Amino acid sequence: MKLYYSPGACSLSPHIALREAGLPFELVLASTKSHKLQDGTDYYGVNPLGYVPLLELDDGTRLREGPAIVQYIADLAPTRKLAPANGTLPRYRLQEWLTFIGTEIHKTYSPLFQPAMPEEAKKIFRDKLVSRFQWVNGELAGKAYLMGEQFSVADGYLFTVTRWAKPTNLDLSSCANLMAHHDRVAARPAVQEALKAEGLLGK
């Protein structure tokens, strides 16, 4: 398998999932700015949408969108318990979390990465993000991970988007449970490996 990624982008989530699953894979750097691969070829030829992540299977099949990719990865390694079994209510709870993180947190960050966005507008999005993170903070009370005591692919996704708070000047000091979760996930060996591979350790 090949994972097309950009350091620190949302592709970090499936990168973490692959390492947690213990699956063999190849990392392929795809610049989200130039949309070129390291060999100079056009990334749009791989993914017409131009963004990461994209998982290419051994038979050439390509899977887009992080929440779909991480569930696929989890199902390839069921003994790692990165996702509850398909068809169970806990699996739908996992999908609930992946959807929430993707739509209410991940996409809300987008304007904050736009240099032309007025600061007044950015404040609106920062306030919304803080309110969403505060809700997650409450949901994490008394739990090690989003689904309880078991790490899941949703935790890797939450960790990835929480990392973006610092570069976007988002103040999450009111979210003690969230930050404890962030530190707990960061300490996992597979997560450390992913951060190291992307050159993100200490950043």
pLDDT in tens, the chain (203 residues): 999 999 999 999 999 999 999 999 999 999 888 889 989 899 999 999 999 999 999 999 999 999 999 999 999 999 999 999 999 999 999 999 999 999 999 999 999 999 999 999 999 999 999 999 999 999 999 999 999 999 999 999 999 999 999 999 999 999 999 999 999 999 999 999 999 999 999 77
Q: Cβ(109)–Cβ(128) under 8 Å?
A: no
What backbone phi and psi angles, to 5 degrees, belong to 88?
-100, 155
Asked if 170 and 126 count as a contact pair (C-beta separation under 8 A), the reply is: yes
The phi and psi torsions of 102 (rounded to 5 degrees) equal -70, -45
2 phi, psi to nearest 5 deg:
-125, 135
pLDDT in the model for residue 117: 95
pLDDT for residue 203: 77
Go through 33-59 and write b for each residue having 16 or more CB atoms within 10 A of its CB, e for each that does not.
Answer: eeeebeeeeebeebbeeebbbbbbeee
Between CA 161 and CA 165 the distance in angstroms is 7
| Pairing outcome for strands 2-5 and 54-56 | antiparallel
- CATH class of this structure's domain 2-80+190-197: alpha beta
Pick from 192, 109, 97: which is nearest to 140 by CA?
A: 97
- Report the CATH architecture of 89-188: Up-down Bundle (1.20)
Closest by Cα among 154, 158, 151, 153 to 188? 151
Residue intervals in the chain for CATH 3.40.30.10: 2-80+190-197
What pairs with residue 114 in β-bridges?
none
In the prediction, which pLDDT does 127 show? Answer: 97
pLDDT of residue 31: 87
How far is Cα 26 from Cα 1, in angstroms, rounded to an integer?
6
User: Over the Cα atoms of the chain, what is R_g?
Assistant: 17
- How does 117-129 read in b/e, with b if 16+ C-beta sit within 10 Å? eeeeebeebbeeb
Residue type, 133: F
